[in-house]
């Protein structure tokens, strides 16, 4: 029974990843520092221009924090997760 559940969970995770046009911010964060650089963003959202990135980077530190990503999603500048 447990094995069946684990298989189902693994399958669901694989299917979700394959179908996702948008990535979770944690997946985009290649170096795992909790912040997204312009290259990390563009690796998963190639449609985001550098200008677009700068407009999302509201405090201008050159990195998107989780909060800035959330704000960008609210404004529709970044694709929603899943």
Number of H helices, E strands in the chain: 5, 0
Stretch that binds Ca ion, among 4-12, 14-22, 24-32, 48-56 (CB under 5 A): 24-32
Stretch that binds Ca ion, among 14-22, 29-37, 45-53, 71-79 (CB under 5 A): 29-37
Examine residue 33 and tell whether it contacts Ca ion (CB under 5 A).
Answer: yes
Nearest alpha-carbon partner for 17 in 5, 2, 32, 27: 27
The CA-to-CA distance between both ends of the chain, in Å, stands at 28
Examine residue 67 and tell whether it contacts Ca ion (CB under 5 A).
Answer: no
Stretch that binds Ca ion, among 9-17, 26-34, 44-52, 72-80 (CB under 5 A): 26-34
- 52 with 77: CB under 8 angstroms? yes
Examine residue 31 and tell whether it contacts Ca ion (CB under 5 A).
Answer: yes
Examine residue 59 and tell whether it contacts Ca ion (CB under 5 A).
Answer: yes
Rg of the Cα trace of the chain?
A: 15
């Amino acid at each position: 029974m447990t094995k069946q559940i684990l298989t189902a969970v693994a399958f669901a995770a694989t299917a979700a990843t394959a179908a996702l046009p948008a990535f979770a911010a944690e997946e985009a964060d290649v170096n795992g520092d909790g912040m997204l650089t312009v290259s990390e963003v563009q690796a998963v959202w190639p449609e985001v221009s550098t200008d677009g990135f700068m407009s999302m980077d509201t405090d201008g530190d050159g990195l998107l924090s989780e909060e800035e990503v959330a704000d960008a999603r609210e404004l529709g500048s970044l694709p929603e997760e899943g």
